[in-house]
Every structure is written in C-alpha cells, then in structure tokens.
Amino acid sequence: MQLRIFFKTYPETSRCPSCGKIGTIRRSRAKNLFESSIKFTRVANLFKCRECGWRGILKKYMVNKYSFITLAFYIILTVSVAYVIRQVLLKNFGS
Ligand SMILES: [Zn+2]
C-alpha cells in the first residue's frame, strides 16, 4: 500500500494531447508572466510537442483511487489519535 495522495506524472513519456504520439513532448520555457507563474506553483509545467507543435500546460501530479484511500486512512488515523489523547487527558485531569 502506497501512502501517497499525489502521484507524479511523467509528461515526457506520455501521449501528446494533440497528435497522440508518445515521447514527443518536451518541456517548454515560459514566455510570459502567466506562464512563469504556472511554473512557480510547481504543480504544473509547460510542455511542447516536437511533432505537431502543440504547446500547453500539463499537470505534474495527479490523484487516483489510492489518493482517496490514503486520505480516508489519514482522517481515520487523526480521529483515532485525537480520541486517544482526549481519553488520556480526561483520565489524568478530568473530574
Ligand atoms: Zn503532438
């Protein structure tokens, strides 16, 4: 079981959204402030297709079904820990 919420994607080895070819996508340089700000967030990056000239933004991370399982696991864990701490505090300092 992988305890991860965000999974890294590899746009360099994935399909071009425009022409559908694999392995033609390369990272592209930011040309304006908007594109620079996207790079700055580190969540997405600019890419360009060598084959068809497509240029756009692709996410660097994605969520899948394991993300929800992990999230649920963390919530249950947090609630359980909070409950235990509360019990301990009540036992020592309560009434
Ligand atoms: Zn392409």
pLDDT tens-place string over residues 63-72: 888 899 999 9
In CATH, 1-63 is 2.20.25: yes
| Ligand 1 mean position, distance from CA 24 (Å) | 7
Neighbouring CB atoms inside 10 A of 47's CB total 20
Q: Cα of 37 to ligand 1 centre, how many Å?
A: 24
Position 9 scores a pLDDT of 87
Q: E strands within the chain?
A: 7-8, 25-27, 44-49, 55-59, 61-62
The CA distance from 60 to 38, in Å, is 11
pTM of the model: 0.63
In this model, does residue 3 exceed pLDDT 90?
no
CA of 92 to the centre of ligand 1 (A): 66
Residue with the bigger pLDDT between 2 and 82: it is 82
For ligand 1, the distance from its centroid to the CA atom of residue 38, given in whole angstroms, is 21
Q: Can you give the residue ranges of every domain in the chain? A: 1-63, 66-95
